[in-house]
Structure formats: C-alpha cells, structure tokens
Amino acid sequence: MEAHFGHTGHFMILVAGSANLDFVVRAHHIPGPGETVLGRAFETFPGGKGANQAVACARAGGVPTQFLTAMGDDAFARPLEASLREASVVLDIVRAQGQPTGVAFICVSDQAENAITVAPGANLYLHPEHLPALDGISHLLMQLEIPLATVLAYARTARKYGVTVVLNAAPMQDLPAELLDVVDILIVNEGELSALARHAGSIAQCLERTPVPTVIVTLGHRGCCARIQGAFFLQPGFAIEPVDTTAAGDTFCGSLVAALSRGADMHQALPLACAASALACTRPGAQASIPNAAEVTEFLSRQPQSDTAAIDALRTYCGLPADALS
C-alpha cells in the first residue's frame, strides 16, 4: 500500500477522542504505593488526550480542526468547552446523559515527571454511530481513551472514504490486527512500541514487528524516530528546561497531523512536532501549555542545526545501521 500523509486544498482535521478536566497537584516527588506526599500548588486544567490533540492541531494553524467527543452535562464540561473554543476548535459534543465528564488526577514532580489516573466517565459513551460525515476531512486522529470498538469503527469508515487514519496508541492496550490493518500512521512512545511489538529489543527490532505502514516513535528528550515503508527518519530533541511534561505527547501528535494535512512531508513535519512538544514541556498544564505556530517558528529559529553527532547518537540509541537513514 502506498503511504499517504498530506493533502492539499480545503480540508479539515477530525480528532475523535477524550476530554477530561485535569486536577493537578505539584509535589517534590510522585508517591509510591502506600505513600502520602505533601503537595504544594493545586490547579485544574482542561485536558484529555483527544482534547489536547485537537487544541494542538488548531494552534498549529493552517487547517481547521473539528473535535468529536462525549461530555456530561455538568460543571466540569464548561472549562473544557471554553478552552477548545478559545483555540478555535469546531466542537461536536455528544452529551452522555447521567454520566460525569471525564476527569484525570495528576501529580507532577519537581523533576517534571507525572503520574496520571483517569476516570473516563462520559468518554466511554462515544459510540460508532456518533461519527459525523467525513466530507472534506483529510485526517482522522484518535487515541485510546474512548472505547476500542469505537476507534475500530471510526478507522474502518475513514479508510473506506480515503481519509488518512492516525492512531496514537495511548494509553497502551492490546490492539487487534483488524485495527492495525486500517491505520495509516501509528504514533507511540518507547514503552507503547515495545508492548505493541511484544518485544523488549531495540526500537529498530520492535519496528520490524509492527505491521503499520508508517510508525513514529516519540523518545522524550531524545527526539523521535519514524519508519515509513522501510525508510527511517530521525529528529533529535531540543534542549529545554522542563517544567511539566503533561501533554507533550499530545502536542507532538496534533502538531504532526496539522503539518501533514497542510501538505508537509515527514522531513518538514517531524521538527515542527518535536519543537511544539518541547515548548509544551516548558509550561504547566495540558492545553494551557500547547504553543501556537508563531511560537514554534520562533523557537526553531533559535535552535542550532542538528549535527551529525546528534543524529548518530539517536541512530545508535534506536539500533539502526549507519545506512538506514533517508
């Protein structure tokens, strides 16, 4: 099958996924089992993987973004809707009667690491019949905080209509082969890739065992690695002082899909996505931390060119031979 990413013309991105209100406590460290930790600041932030990625798509600019989600009819839904509207996301909200809007409880350590517990609530009530018409949609971007049966149904329909299907397989769960068969672009982190491949070897070895035409692996501060029809692309990370890594992966996904929908190729899209993700780590919160296109452009203008040593180090980390890169 021929890889297809970008479209030109008047298109829209559809993000289908979760919306959660995040309850965030900052603490010296993340508590272990049975441990109580005294936290400091407490804030609420609009979040949820789907909503975060929709905001990232919209803020990246160039292509309108529609967001399909399920929320309750409660006070927790209001700040979520306001944040999405402020980012110019077109909302398609299913009201799950009698169900609370999803919430997430997040502890952020002084080292900017986080631990997250999600209560999905209304997110579990986004069903196959809720998918809108796909006329004018270039890319469908999904995650795994909504029912797997819904993800599969949406992916199958999108494939039928020639829409590029992008799946961020997070939070990780066993994925049926029938879903992977209708995914064009899979985005995972290192742990998710290993779990999906059922292999503890190198990134290169895990990618060999992952039957999706295009797989992009995010590697935190190291950057990312993409395999497209057997060709490899590497993007080293950018040096930053992290404050909060919440939504870094979501920012990467949304920024990448926005770039591809504008017609960018992978060489152009990966630096934009990595830069947006890095910037998101320098600010607190989920959607509140996601940069806009002008901020990403300005950030990239201040970065040194990736040197051969950085690319070689990343290639070695991924277990790729010297002649593997495109």
List residues with catalytic annotation: 250
Reference 69, options 163, 143, 139; nearest CA is 143
Reference 183, options 234, 232, 142, 126; nearest CA is 142
Distance CA 206, CA 139 (A): 26
CA distances (Å), 295 to each of 59, 65, 257, 300, 301, in order? Answer: 10, 19, 18, 9, 10
Reference 93, options 74, 67, 56, 118; nearest CA is 67
Using only the alpha carbons of the chain, give its radius of gyration: 19
CA quadruple 229, 222, 172, 56: dihedral sign: negative
Q: Which residues pair with 215 in a beta bridge?
A: 186, 227
Cβ–Cβ < 8 Å for 182, 165: yes
Give buried/exposed letters for 107-128 (b at 16+ CB in 10 A, else e): bbbeebebeeebebbbbbbbee
